[in-house]
Chains A and B, each alone.
Chain A
Amino acid sequence: MRIWSLVCCLVLVLTVSVAHAADKDTLVVSVPSDIHTLDPGVSSDNYDWRQIYPCYDRLVKYKVENGKGSTEVEPMAAESWTVSPDGLVWTFKIKKGIAFDDGTPLDAEAVRYSLDRTLAIGKGPADNIGAIASMKVVDPQTLEVTLKNPYGPFLQTLATDGASIVNPKTAAKAVGDDKAQAWLAENVDGSGPFKVTEWTRGQRCVLEAKPNYWGGAPTIKKVIIRFMPESADRRMALEKGDVDIAENILIDQLPALEKNPDIVVHRFPAQMTEYVYVNCQNKKLADPRVRQALSYAVDYKGIIDQVLQGNGMQMRGPIPQGMWGHREDVFQYSQDAAKAKELLKAAGAENLELTLIYSERRATWEQIAQVMQANLADIGVKLKLELMSNPTLRDKIDKGDFELCLGAWSPDFADPYMFMNFWFDSKNAGLPGNRSFYKNDKVDELVRKAAGLSDVAERKKLYSEAQDIIMQDAPYIFLYQIQTIVPMRKDVKGYVFNPMLESMYNFETISKN
């Protein structure tokens, strides 16, 4: 009898655990930090886009070739397009039959409204689609877009999150002049395959699939994004099967994870860069010699070889390897404490005290912050470390309320514009991209001129010249370019990584078996 009850218990336990793992309709992703906003016209954070992107359609989308994400685009809501011989006027034919949840058709007017809204809000996403000069609705299925100048990556910019097509009816939700920003920060209203049904701050965000999505119903019915700040918690949840995908696991924990037969650790070459914003508007950091000293202080090799366990390489110039415009011959800082001290002395900035802010966003940041603290101590700079939540951090970045801040950046389309114009054009100061509030008239002139040209050789030359000035001005401490590592359970199928869609997922084509 006792044996039988034991067996019954075991069977019960086993069925319960199997039932949990066998929930094939729900995909759970654990990520380090909460999100900031759901508004595609405002957010310039891939962690927000992870939720926003699958809720909306765009005119075009990145192709998937042999299971790999491409930097080329193909039609999505647009059926086809033509371009005038001078490259200035683009005419888009919009697919028929796409509608928002309330039945409002996705037509030329909806596209015009959305792009216009993003441009009018003028935050980071506006710069993504900044080539647009004007738009005209020819008929409900035809939109004519005129560019300021012929622009090579224009079509790719329409695949970015900021070009998401929002239901024009949201205009009614506007409060005063806010273009419905307050409402869209908390809600989504798109025609994409998913919709956000719950967002509990600090805990989770839930996406539910739309069975009647025009592109076909997603296999996964529900996606739960769980915010779990500790790398160890994410790893444990992944090993237990409570989550299917765990982002950003400490590199030290990967070897143990790779031994688990239920888990696959995917590694992708990416253009993900991590760097330190050095606030150029801060009095202590206004002198370029002080900023150079900071760049000379950091132990790049130690960070990459030890903290990252070799999973990265030191950046050379602002443009990552793999993107055109990258220069192998541009100046690169390496650790040289004597030189750094000399520069500080020359700038009269001895006994400097600085604060570095960072969030839990990247699991390695805490260690990197402490390495920098020790490195700066070696050159006589006292560094205070302040850990804060990612949304708070982003508010501080936007306001310029910091001295040093750890950051990560990945391109949204394959053009050096993503780095050179976002990071250095003074009109992008703050969260949009120029997070060191750097202003150099010559650099402004060069990168703006480069953005306005379509000739690649000519643009390369301008960007190249700007890079030389930038490396001397040292507005950022360029740390490293890192692989993207995504550990997930073996039963998750169909995940496609695209370096242009860092930290974002193709939930609509992922399945579990």
Chain B
Amino acid sequence: MPPRTLHPALRELALTVRILSRNPSAVMGGTIIAAMVFLALFAPLLAPYDPVRLSLPDRLLPPGGGHFFGTDELGRDIFTRVLYGARISLSIGLLVISVAGGIGALIGATSGYFGGKIDSVVMRVMDVILSFPSLVLALALAAALGPSLVNAIFATAFVMIPKFARMVRGEALAVREMPFVAASRVAGAGHGFIIRRHILPNCLNSAIVLATLTLGDAILIAASLSFIGLGAQPPTPEWGAMIASGRKFLMDQWWYATFPGLFILATVIGFNIFGDALRDVLDPRIRR
């Protein structure tokens, strides 16, 4: 029987997917995310034009004809740019989450595992970062580092670290009291080994939920930074940057800012409702 031979982790995954598929909001969020990923991956095949090539005679054309979403002030196809924008925004989101999640989890696990003074100091530092509204802090950081996409990603990741650190620390505090941790210690395992093999894997579920929920935020903050000119620089087809230049034409050329705006909206909502559903599903108390 194939299911019997599955690795336990895979069986767990299959179960999760099965439960998720019965959850309407998870299906909806998942579909949106899947669609975005599909558009992003196949942008070069789907997009009818070059995202940065100018075509001045075709400036500010309304949607229709060869341009689904119309053209911008330099005659570039907005549909094409929005598709390429999906690539950028999703990569930003993933990068931010991997960096912030990785660093945050490490900080949180270490801090929670050791406890005591280290824990107090580390967590107070995290609290200080958390006490700033994340967008404002990201803005200050990005402004200090200078306007560029890489700096915007770094700034966004930085403000996301405490969320992961706090969450993982909470889990670590509980896990370190578990008998198997004590057993491992008695068996002579070092701190590094215990954190790696026992603490971190047990925080994985919560971390995945948080990552999914935060991805939307990360995309939104990065787009906001680009919107005010601190993130992606022209001619990069980033959604936030497109809205920023489209805003100037909003009164007569509504389509310019509208479509990138709708894509941000859809992506963020997609990640948020999927994350919500995922949280419900992965919660052992809800799980059958």
Task: Give me the interface of A with B, judged by CB distance under 8 Å.
Answer: 230-232, 235-236, 250, 252-253, 256, 299, 302-303, 305-307, 366-367, 369-371, 373-374, 377, 384-387
Q: Closest residue to A306 on the B side, CB-wise? A: B56
Taken together as a complex, chains A and B put the C-alpha atoms of A263 and B74 apart, in Å, by: 28
Given contacts A306-B57, A307-B56, contact A253 B251 (CB under 8 A): yes
8 Å CB interface, B232-263 against A:
233-235, 245, 247-253
| Shortest distance from the beta carbon of B148 to any chain A beta carbon, whole Å | 9
Taken together as a complex, chains A and B put the C-alpha atoms of A385 and B233 apart, in Å, by: 7
A232 engages B56 (CB within 8 Å) = no
B234 engages A236 (CB within 8 Å) = no
Given contacts A306-B56, A307-B56, contact A370 B74 (CB under 8 A): yes
What A residues does B52 contact at CB under 8 A? Answer: 374, 377
Q: Closest residue to A232 on the B side, CB-wise? A: B248
Q: Is B191 an interface residue (CB 8 A)?
A: no
Given A307-B56, A373-B234, A374-B235, 5 more pairs with CB closer than 8 A: A231-B248, A232-B251, A302-B56, A303-B56, A370-B235
Given contacts A384-B233, A385-B234, contact A367 B73 (CB under 8 A): yes
Task: Give me the interface of B with A, judged by CB distance under 8 Å.
Answer: 52-54, 56-57, 59-60, 73-75, 147, 229, 233-235, 245, 247-253
A374 engages B247 (CB within 8 Å) = no
A371 engages B249 (CB within 8 Å) = no
A370 engages B56 (CB within 8 Å) = no
Taken together as a complex, chains A and B put the C-alpha atoms of A85 and B210 apart, in Å, by: 89
Q: Closest residue to B248 on the A side, CB-wise? A: A232
A-B contacts, 22 listed (Cβ < 8 Å):
A232-B248, A235-B251, A236-B251, A252-B73, A252-B253, A302-B57, A303-B56, A306-B57, A306-B59, A306-B75, A307-B56, A307-B59, A367-B74, A370-B234, A370-B235, A373-B234, A374-B53, A374-B54, A374-B74, A377-B52, A384-B233, A386-B147
What B residues does A371 contact at CB under 8 A? Answer: 54, 56, 74
Q: Closest residue to A385 on the B side, CB-wise? A: B234
| Shortest distance from the beta carbon of A189 to any chain B beta carbon, whole Å | 37
What A residues does B53 contact at CB under 8 A? Answer: 374
What B residues does A252 contact at CB under 8 A? Answer: 59-60, 73, 249, 252-253
What A residues does B235 contact at CB under 8 A? Answer: 370, 373-374
B57, B60, B235, B247: which has the most chain A beta carbons within 10 Å?
A: B235
What B residues does A299 contact at CB under 8 A? Answer: 56
Taken together as a complex, chains A and B put the C-alpha atoms of A178 and B8 apart, in Å, by: 81
Secondary structure class of chain B's binding surface, majority of residues: loop
Given contacts A374-B53, A374-B54, contact A256 B252 (CB under 8 A): yes
What A residues does B250 contact at CB under 8 A? Answer: 232
What A residues does B253 contact at CB under 8 A? Answer: 252
Taken together as a complex, chains A and B put the C-alpha atoms of A75 and B210 apart, in Å, by: 76
Taken together as a complex, chains A and B put the C-alpha atoms of A480 and B234 apart, in Å, by: 23
B56 engages A305 (CB within 8 Å) = yes
Taken together as a complex, chains A and B put the C-alpha atoms of A468 and B251 apart, in Å, by: 46
| Shortest distance from the beta carbon of A41 to any chain B beta carbon, whole Å | 34
What A residues does B233 contact at CB under 8 A? Answer: 384-385
| Shortest distance from the beta carbon of B233 to any chain A beta carbon, whole Å | 6
What B residues does A235 contact at CB under 8 A? Answer: 251
A230, A299, A302: which has the most chain B beta carbons within 10 Å?
A: A302
Taken together as a complex, chains A and B put the C-alpha atoms of A397 and B245 apart, in Å, by: 26
Taken together as a complex, chains A and B put the C-alpha atoms of A285 and B245 apart, in Å, by: 30
What B residues does A370 contact at CB under 8 A? Answer: 54, 74, 234-235
Taken together as a complex, chains A and B put the C-alpha atoms of A189 and B250 apart, in Å, by: 43
Q: Closest residue to B250 on the A side, CB-wise? A: A232
What A residues does B229 contact at CB under 8 A? Answer: 387
What B residues does A387 contact at CB under 8 A? Answer: 229
| Shortest distance from the beta carbon of A349 to any chain B beta carbon, whole Å | 22
Taken together as a complex, chains A and B put the C-alpha atoms of A306 and B59 apart, in Å, by: 7
| Shortest distance from the beta carbon of A380 to any chain B beta carbon, whole Å | 15
Taken together as a complex, chains A and B put the C-alpha atoms of A377 and B74 apart, in Å, by: 15
A232 engages B74 (CB within 8 Å) = no
Taken together as a complex, chains A and B put the C-alpha atoms of A442 and B251 apart, in Å, by: 52
Taken together as a complex, chains A and B put the C-alpha atoms of A384 and B245 apart, in Å, by: 17
A232 engages B249 (CB within 8 Å) = yes
What B residues does A232 contact at CB under 8 A? Answer: 247-251
What B residues does A250 contact at CB under 8 A? Answer: 248-249
A250, A306, A385: which has the most chain B beta carbons within 10 Å?
A: A306
Q: Closest residue to B74 on the A side, CB-wise? A: A370
What A residues does B56 contact at CB under 8 A? Answer: 299, 302-303, 305-307, 371
What A residues does B57 contact at CB under 8 A? Answer: 302, 306
B245 engages A366 (CB within 8 Å) = yes
The 9 A-B pairs of least Cβ separation, nearest first, read A306-B56, A302-B56, A374-B54, A232-B248, A370-B234, A256-B252, A306-B59, A367-B73, A385-B234
What B residues does A236 contact at CB under 8 A? Answer: 251
| Shortest distance from the beta carbon of A302 to any chain B beta carbon, whole Å | 4
| Shortest distance from the beta carbon of A112 to any chain B beta carbon, whole Å | 48
Taken together as a complex, chains A and B put the C-alpha atoms of A380 and B73 apart, in Å, by: 23
Taken together as a complex, chains A and B put the C-alpha atoms of A144 and B59 apart, in Å, by: 59
What B residues does A367 contact at CB under 8 A? Answer: 73-74
A232, A371, A374: which has the most chain B beta carbons within 10 Å?
A: A374
Q: Closest residue to B252 on the A side, CB-wise? A: A256
| Shortest distance from the beta carbon of B78 to any chain A beta carbon, whole Å | 15
Taken together as a complex, chains A and B put the C-alpha atoms of A465 and B235 apart, in Å, by: 40
What B residues does A303 contact at CB under 8 A? Answer: 56
| Shortest distance from the beta carbon of B165 to any chain A beta carbon, whole Å | 35
What A residues does B247 contact at CB under 8 A? Answer: 230, 232
Taken together as a complex, chains A and B put the C-alpha atoms of A307 and B247 apart, in Å, by: 17
Taken together as a complex, chains A and B put the C-alpha atoms of A97 and B67 apart, in Å, by: 69
Taken together as a complex, chains A and B put the C-alpha atoms of A170 and B251 apart, in Å, by: 48
Q: Closest residue to B147 on the A side, CB-wise? A: A386
What B residues does A385 contact at CB under 8 A? Answer: 233-234
Taken together as a complex, chains A and B put the C-alpha atoms of A380 and B74 apart, in Å, by: 20
Given contacts A305-B56, A370-B74, contact A230 B248 (CB under 8 A): yes
Q: Closest residue to A386 on the B side, CB-wise? A: B147
What A residues does B252 contact at CB under 8 A? Answer: 252-253, 256
Taken together as a complex, chains A and B put the C-alpha atoms of A370 and B245 apart, in Å, by: 11
What A residues does B54 contact at CB under 8 A? Answer: 302, 370-371, 374
Q: Closest residue to A364 on the B side, CB-wise? A: B73
Taken together as a complex, chains A and B put the C-alpha atoms of A219 and B136 apart, in Å, by: 46
| Shortest distance from the beta carbon of A411 to any chain B beta carbon, whole Å | 30
A231, A253, A370: which has the most chain B beta carbons within 10 Å?
A: A370
Taken together as a complex, chains A and B put the C-alpha atoms of A86 and B143 apart, in Å, by: 61
Taken together as a complex, chains A and B put the C-alpha atoms of A306 and B74 apart, in Å, by: 9
Taken together as a complex, chains A and B put the C-alpha atoms of A32 and B105 apart, in Å, by: 47
What B residues does A307 contact at CB under 8 A? Answer: 56, 59, 73
| Shortest distance from the beta carbon of A274 to any chain B beta carbon, whole Å | 17
| Shortest distance from the beta carbon of B203 to any chain A beta carbon, whole Å | 42
Taken together as a complex, chains A and B put the C-alpha atoms of A385 and B148 apart, in Å, by: 11
| Shortest distance from the beta carbon of B4 to any chain A beta carbon, whole Å | 59
What B residues does A374 contact at CB under 8 A? Answer: 52-54, 74, 235
Taken together as a complex, chains A and B put the C-alpha atoms of A256 and B251 apart, in Å, by: 9
What B residues does A305 contact at CB under 8 A? Answer: 56
Taken together as a complex, chains A and B put the C-alpha atoms of A196 and B250 apart, in Å, by: 35
Taken together as a complex, chains A and B put the C-alpha atoms of A307 and B249 apart, in Å, by: 13
